[in-house]
Structure 1
């Protein structure tokens, strides 16, 4: 039999999943990844750990599936976006730790540059430390010897997909969805912008070749998993989740609750300019077509639960949060704004910080846990309302995926505060499935997009139970809490 594989390189972990022709997972493996916080606001990772653990899960995933690499028609890659990696073109050695998308070290630089409207027009993105350009600018400013080497092509840069593709195949390439997150890419011309490269002092010679998302990028080097399997399909993680939810038609959208919360809606063949703090980005490209999207990104969602576990020790596992949240009727007036890395859409405040308000002597561990889960739903609600204002219509339902979507309390509360049904697929790792779909299409495993529409599986619906008065009161309290978080680190 033939199968398709998917590498899903996230922020806190990497997995490899093997899918059959029905889109069902037949084997998988997962390893956690290490995040480092050398200074307040800084977030880094070791590129070699990203690579080594990716190769490890590929081998383990094949073993779990009970197949050999010769049975794979192709492998797709999906990855955390915006994270900036630079490496020696001759040795493959990283020249600096990966600067992760959550990193805020360039907040002052972004404020200094100010409102450069032409950048947003060209890229669809606001000027924010979230994106790759100022991370690379910072690296070259603090390591000036690297810029000269980059100009000569001796130092290469890219997002995590490029790092993997280069190490796995020897090809220096990326796809349009990842390129569109750098602040260096013209989303209408589908090419690197020389003007933006000059503005941020990034040598264009060090940037990867940009290819369609649904295309072949290279073949695995011999010995990694055996045969030279094609890498054939690359998408940024949120675009991959939309692809995995089969969001191929205009108006289709989803929210992924992973490390952050990411709302993505397909807007068709023409980019839509947001007037409500969202991002214009690329949903996916084929050799013949491009689909654009509007995206709202909240930097911290599931990571807030990790903080409860690892930072505060309030829980031992994420699974505990559901029963704890249900053990109390409400948060007792407590709001947790998870602005640990600033506020993303629709607020865009890099100086905001995580905030807990409404504490009393009666506040318990359960109240704090419930407030953290409710905070994820509230920030998602902010994204949905901004999206609805931009597209001029209300969503009939919200499709969810990602690890936090396993939490029934969160799904129900999300439906309550939005006032619309929340739909959860049976298989939540839609990011990996989206990468597999892209690889399978590129390799002819599935002949056309329509072939994927029947691969739905079971879904669960959560319908709203909250009255309008309660909803309005809770959302008003959330808005006040967000105002308290804004500008805290100025």
Structure 2
């Protein structure tokens, strides 16, 4: 999907392009099924998945204005990286008791941040007259990207269904993750929480957000299972909501059926991971293709003192500092593009290390391995570097797009389909490759990795005033 940058800090996408990509995907899938001599009448249902992260956009269709939560100026929508709501966030925090950005966490599991949907809607109401007028005239609809897709697929203005599911709703800052319903103290809403819809044109069996689908695709069904989708964040599955004391989010992972219990997760959201490679390619011209970065980084073998903090859209977990900006430091005349490529990959790994450290402290369940997915996992150097920095095995499935796999798995287990049972060992294990740490956890290189991460923390703290905590033991520095 094309991204637009009309102003500094603004990031937009076209919701019409999003839904067109869905139509194109359905058409190509049907063509391939036909080539396999599969009768299309045997299709039992659809399973929308917001492969765009779970947050926003806006579109006008006739007299109806549909606000997909991270949205603004017609005809484009804002996405999760957009920072135009920063002043709105500051105003809301200042109105909160004790000016506490975590004031809504007991209900929503989320801090007040530019990342989430409610502040996007507030910005729209305050700044876009067309949206405000549509709300006053009762012809506006608000929802996450999944609800936009479902509304379009189920009829649009001709009887389109306005629904969402708990995994997407829990990202709005308006949803109570304990009652699994909209919180009327936060807003009044008549959007339904999805439990299955059937009409003449569409049979909808399940709905999941991108990260939730990836959890299913990685078969993260038990407490302590953790996965990292390179691009947006890490998840650790927990049976009940766990209040984070270390900057993580508490979110609804999934609810696979009307009568099934919800599964929760601790999430460490990352603003920039895979996007750092695109930045090196598109903005700086350092690489000609995303695949080239592995070759350059391997040629360097080290960043040689070059440090990269890719805070292009602020810092998410565990800092939640929207005013942060990117930093590259430690440059010398010896530094070349190979070292920058290595530093970029290293930065992605250190972000993951910080989040997993926080997860271990919050959950009390030490992670002994990390499952990974997403496009960046094709980079073998990155996978090995991640294992070395974490000092635990990194497991990469042969099916890198776990989000798509999870969609298929959830659809097959849905009520009325019942092809398989996700609560048993009915499904075969995913074929995978494991990257084991190649350094001694107590050895020199491991200590160097900890020291480098500590240095990155100090760089962030000095540049942006973020709080960090360090503790010294046995003449070594450990990150808290």
What TM-score bracket applies, with the shorter chain setting the length? 0.7 to 0.9
Q: How does 1:12-411 map to 2 (within 5 A)?
A: 33-65=1-33, 66=35, 67=38, 69-79=40-50, 80-88=52-60, 91=63, 95-114=74-93, 115=100, 117-169=102-154, 170-197=160-187, 204-205=189-190, 208-211=191-194, 215-219=195-199, 221=201, 228=202, 230-258=203-231, 260=232, 262-268=233-239, 270-285=240-255, 286-288=257-259, 289-411=261-383
CA, structure 1 residues 381+144, in 2 after alignment: closer, same or farther (shift >3 Å)? Answer: same
Contact 2:307 2:330 (C-alpha < 8 Å) held by counterparts: yes
In the alignment, the residues of structure 2 paired with residue 393 and residue 129 of structure 1 have an alpha-carbon distance, to the nearest angstrom, of 30
CA, structure 1 residues 220+368, in 2 after alignment: closer, same or farther (shift >3 Å)? Answer: farther
Contact 1:274 1:280 (C-alpha < 8 Å) held by counterparts: yes
- Who is 2:464 aligned against? 486
CA, structure 1 residues 451+316, in 2 after alignment: closer, same or farther (shift >3 Å)? Answer: farther
Contact 2:64 2:139 (C-alpha < 8 Å) held by counterparts: no
> Alpha-carbon deviations, 1:445-481, whole Å to 9, x = none?
4342135653323211111123332222322232233
Contact 2:371 2:395 (C-alpha < 8 Å) held by counterparts: yes
How far apart are 1:314 and its partner, in Å? 1.2
In the alignment, the residues of structure 2 paired with residue 283 and residue 107 of structure 1 have an alpha-carbon distance, to the nearest angstrom, of 27
In the alignment, the residues of structure 2 paired with residue 483 and residue 405 of structure 1 have an alpha-carbon distance, to the nearest angstrom, of 30
In the alignment, the residues of structure 2 paired with residue 327 and residue 437 of structure 1 have an alpha-carbon distance, to the nearest angstrom, of 40
Residue aligned with 1:194, SS: coil
CA, structure 1 residues 231+134, in 2 after alignment: closer, same or farther (shift >3 Å)? Answer: same
* Larger displacement relative to structure 2 (111-120 or 299-308): 111-120
In the alignment, the residues of structure 2 paired with residue 290 and residue 88 of structure 1 have an alpha-carbon distance, to the nearest angstrom, of 34
How far apart are 1:60 and its partner, in Å? 1.4
Contact 2:63 2:139 (C-alpha < 8 Å) held by counterparts: no
In the alignment, the residues of structure 1 paired with residue 101 and residue 321 of structure 2 have an alpha-carbon distance, to the nearest angstrom, of 16
Moved over 6 A (4+): none
* Larger displacement relative to structure 2 (127-136 or 230-239): 230-239
In the alignment, the residues of structure 1 paired with residue 390 and residue 267 of structure 2 have an alpha-carbon distance, to the nearest angstrom, of 18
Q: TM-score by structure 2 length?
A: 0.86
Contact 1:417 1:471 (C-alpha < 8 Å) held by counterparts: yes
Q: Which runs of 5+ in 1 are unaligned?
A: 1-32, 198-202, 222-227
How far apart are 1:234 and its partner, in Å? 0.9
Structure having the higher strand fraction is: 1
> Alpha-carbon deviations, 1:124-159, whole Å to 9, x = none?
100000000010110111124533433554111211
How far apart are 1:74 and its partner, in Å? 2.1
- How many residue pairs get aligned? The number is 436
Higher relative contact order (CA 8 A, sep 6+): 1
> Alpha-carbon deviations, 1:37-71, whole Å to 9, x = none?
11111111111111112101221133234345423
